[in-house]
Amino acid sequence: MLNNKGRPTQPTTQSEPDVSIDTFTGNKGLELESPLIFEQGVPGRVGVDMADPEPVKSRLGGLERKGPIGLPDLSEPQVLRHFVRLSRQNYAIDAGFYPLGSCTMKHNPRINEKVARLAGLGDLHPMQPTSTVQGALELINSLAHWLKTITGMPAVAMSPAAGAHGELCGVMAIRAAHEAKGESRTRILVPESAHGTNPATAALCGYKVDSVPARKDGRMDMDAFAEKLGPDVAGVMLTNPNTCGLFETDVKKIADMVHEVGGYFYCDGANLNAILGRVRPGDLGVDAMHINLHKTFSTPHGGGGPGAGPVVLSDALAPFAPIPFVTHGENGFDLVEQKSGAAAQSFGRMKGYHGQMGMFIRALAYMQSHGADGLRQIAEDAVLNANYIRVGLQDKLNSPFSGICMHEALFDDSTLKGTGVTTLDLAKAMIDEGYHPMTMYFPLVVHGAMLIEPTESESRQTLDQFIGAMRHLLDKATAGETEYFLSAPLFAPRRRLDETGAARNPVLRWVSPEATDNEDASLSAAS
């Protein structure tokens, strides 16, 4: 029934329309598509106004470009609308719960963005005379102080650009330290549950990776570890808390044992969030540990970076730290940019300029906002939330390792056995419920692993609803509603994508339709 203004007077009871109906535009209400930017241009449009160049005699040395580049011309509103439309096809922590284990998807405070853009911080040139950037160097020095205090370590290398880059820094420092003693060691011990970056990093430093199995309780197998230790072991790379979401209870023993054979203890600090203010890695015998500022200290992930991976170092490794670094003396702050003097033993430079300053600013703002009290609260609430989820799902999903977890709850897929539903299918059904799926199939030591990291940012209401949704889905799966899972997601901007096809016939760029006639078919766009 409609009133005289054409508005319904009572809720409709009609059956829901078929969501698969195609519209003329391909859009569906607020779900708006945008073609590739290359398919939208009209030659002669401009998106940036600028002055006409003064006519000058070219000094390009005869190297002038002759042909066109092939970029499309667009106006500013077109470009803005294109990227706004694209943005709406993304899930984000700002929009919903993102329990991606091992990734620490926490709230990203906007004050951090604001201060990173202040004139005098965000716009500094890296090669300004140091006398004109004293505030920037003070900021780096201050962040270094926070990182050293939080970890209880005497030194920190600030320049690594991300976690894996930090690992490279730490393992290079280890190798440089051995070489300084005239030792050439060949092996690095890495637990099976480690992130793939650990073995990849060790290999890049010329080490043979020796994998250590996990014990039944999810920690590193101490017997196997002891057996593998020897004078040819350069060190061990251990994630703590580990990727099963567990604290390595034998961590001090591990440190002692590796030190006893003359090796070093590299700690993968990806999961530092869980222990902030509760324990300092420096008190556990760690020699090097990277800190993902984009995880623990909330510099935004940005769809895959940029990150920053400062590495705290023990006294034994500090002399080998990469250049550059900030020093402080009577004349204020300065930069050591060359491998001499204080940096004579440095293993070298890891990236251009001085580090990920934009991330330093955000991380320091985050730390100041939290303070010593807030940092400790982070760890407490993150671990509380993970255990709340663990307990909330423990009668529906199997925890491969019993007992209290740290910042993330790990489950295997034994509940799904025989249902025809896999961990992947379950994840895709979570998308329809409005969640970003948890980390799947990692760590490798657990079958069909589901690694759920809620972080401290989530309220109890969010967790309760998530637990409810997961229980609902698991009931559905065990009740035999397999088809529901196999067809998920239904409500995302795309249904499941053909990843095999993408890898078999890689189309890695757009090619103009005119060009495709003459080009190798593998380069051409498919549609």
List the interface residues with other proteins, window 306-335 (CB under 8 A). 306-308, 322
**The one segment of 2-10, 102-110, 256-264, 472-480 that binds other proteins by CB under 8 A:** 102-110
- Residue 341 CB neighbours (<10 A): 8
- Decide if residue 344 touches other proteins (CB under 8 A): no
Please list every residue from 187 through 226 that binds other proteins, using CB under 8 A. 195-197, 199-206, 209
Which class for 20: exposed (0-12), middle (13-18), buried (19 or more C-beta within 10 A)? Answer: exposed
For the CB of residue 11, give the shortest distance to other proteins in the complex, in Å: 30
Per-residue mark of binding to other proteins, 479-508 (x: CB under 8 A): ----------x--xxxxxxxx-xxx--xxx
The residue type found at 309 is G
For the CB of residue 414, give the shortest distance to other proteins in the complex, in Å: 22
- Residue 200 CB neighbours (<10 A): 13
Judged by beta carbon, residue 31 or residue 481, the one nearer other proteins is 31
- Decide if residue 132 touches other proteins (CB under 8 A): yes
- Answer whether the bond into residue 11 is a cis peptide, omega within 30°: no
For the CB of residue 303, give the shortest distance to other proteins in the complex, in Å: 4
For the CB of residue 219, give the shortest distance to other proteins in the complex, in Å: 9
**The one segment of 4-12, 104-112, 220-228, 260-268 that binds other proteins by CB under 8 A:** 104-112
CA torsion angle 437 246 252 155 (round to 10): 30
Judged by beta carbon, residue 517 or residue 520, the one nearer other proteins is 520
Judged by beta carbon, residue 417 or residue 495, the one nearer other proteins is 495
The answer to whether 228 and 258 are in contact (CB under 8 A) is no
- Decide if residue 465 touches other proteins (CB under 8 A): no
Judged by beta carbon, residue 390 or residue 421, the one nearer other proteins is 390
How big is the CA angle at 143 (ends 137 and 145), to the nearest 5 degrees?
Answer: 105
**The one segment of 4-12, 134-142, 310-318, 476-484 that binds other proteins by CB under 8 A:** 134-142
Helix (H, G, I), strand (E, B) or coil at 275: helix
Please list every residue from 254 through 313 that binds other proteins, using CB under 8 A. 275, 277-280, 283-284, 292, 294, 300-308
| CA 487 – CA 428 distance, rounded (Å) | 9
For the CB of residue 347, give the shortest distance to other proteins in the complex, in Å: 7
Give the DSSP letter of residue 333: E
For the CB of residue 229, give the shortest distance to other proteins in the complex, in Å: 19
Helix (H, G, I), strand (E, B) or coil at 249: coil
Single residue of 419, 458, 473, 477 touching other proteins by CB under 8 A: 458
- Decide if residue 178 touches other proteins (CB under 8 A): no
| CA 41 – CA 37 distance, rounded (Å) | 7
DSSP strand pairing (288-290 vs 264-268): parallel
For the CB of residue 170, give the shortest distance to other proteins in the complex, in Å: 12
Please list every residue from 15 through 74 that binds other proteins, using CB under 8 A. 20, 34, 36-38, 41, 43-48, 50-74
Judged by beta carbon, residue 51 or residue 344, the one nearer other proteins is 51
Residue-by-residue DSSP string for 280-326: -GGGGT-SEEE--TTTTT----TTT------EEE-TTTGGGPPBPEE
The answer to whether 311 and 169 are in contact (CB under 8 A) is yes
Single residue of 319, 437, 443, 454 touching other proteins by CB under 8 A: 437
| CA 236 – CA 486 distance, rounded (Å) | 41
Helix (H, G, I), strand (E, B) or coil at 167: helix
